[in-house]
Amino acid sequence: MSVDTPEELEGLQRVGRVVAETIAAVREAAVPGVTTAELDAIAEAVFERHGARSGPILTYDYPGSICLSIDDEIVHGIPGSRVLRAGQLLTIDVAAELDGFHADAATTIAIGEPSPEADRLLAAGRRALAAGIEAARPGATLRDVGAAIEATVEWDGFHVARELTGHGIGRKMHEPPTVFNWPAPFEEASERLTEGLVFTIEPMITAGDPQFAAAADGWTIRSLDGARSTHEEHTVMVRRGGALVLTDSVA
């Protein structure tokens, strides 16, 4: 969507804060011995406290309040009986709706102390997200955003899963435009960014071959070669002087 009024911005900021609070609560509880179902229940409790609803359930009838993906699972891992172990990587992906507005964010964390290799991957994901946000300025194109992301990822020695993208968001969980994580040659990637445009920036990168496939559950996307992955995401609004991150806890 494109923000046209202060009331729309306020609504997006409210739901963005719910998403940020949910990620923080799940992150704090994500320790060895906890199940992903227990983490999902924590997220559901945060939603209920604010009167928010799960975006994936509302939009797609997804079998969990949030997505929780482990190691080689790039996105859409289903919460359940799996017990977290030290050394694993966990992606916490939260989308929520509140009063007709949607926001979406994700982060990947280590359970316990990360290995040096895992720490490099996590840092690369954070840098890629920051590069994409920095490129999201009025007059730039979506291709500029994708180019900034992929250049950062490749500099760090990793790979973008190109077919996985960000998206417009606001009145719905998924709206136009498609936000590529690479300098896609498609016409839609040449769209110029205008003030007020709201979308997600979400680099999804792997430590190995960027090819992936859907798991048997029909939801989870995992790397074909078993390489670990990271997924960092924010919902942002384009504005002069730099994008406003709506899923930051202080937005």
249 pLDDT band, cuts 50/70/90, is: confident
Share of the chain above pLDDT 90, in %: 99
Mean pLDDT of the chain: 97
pLDDT beyond 90 at 250: no
| C-alpha span between 112 and 30 (Å, rounded) | 9
pLDDT of residue 213: 96
pLDDT 10s digits, 33-67: 999 999 999 999 999 999 999 999 999 999 999 99
pLDDT beyond 90 at 251: no
105 pLDDT band, cuts 50/70/90, is: very high
Average pLDDT of span 87-108:
98
pLDDT 10s digits, 119-138: 999 999 999 999 999 999 99
Average pLDDT of span 200-224:
96
Q: What angle do CA 121, 125, 130 make, to 5 degrees?
A: 145
Residue 193: CB atoms within 10 A of its CB come to: 21
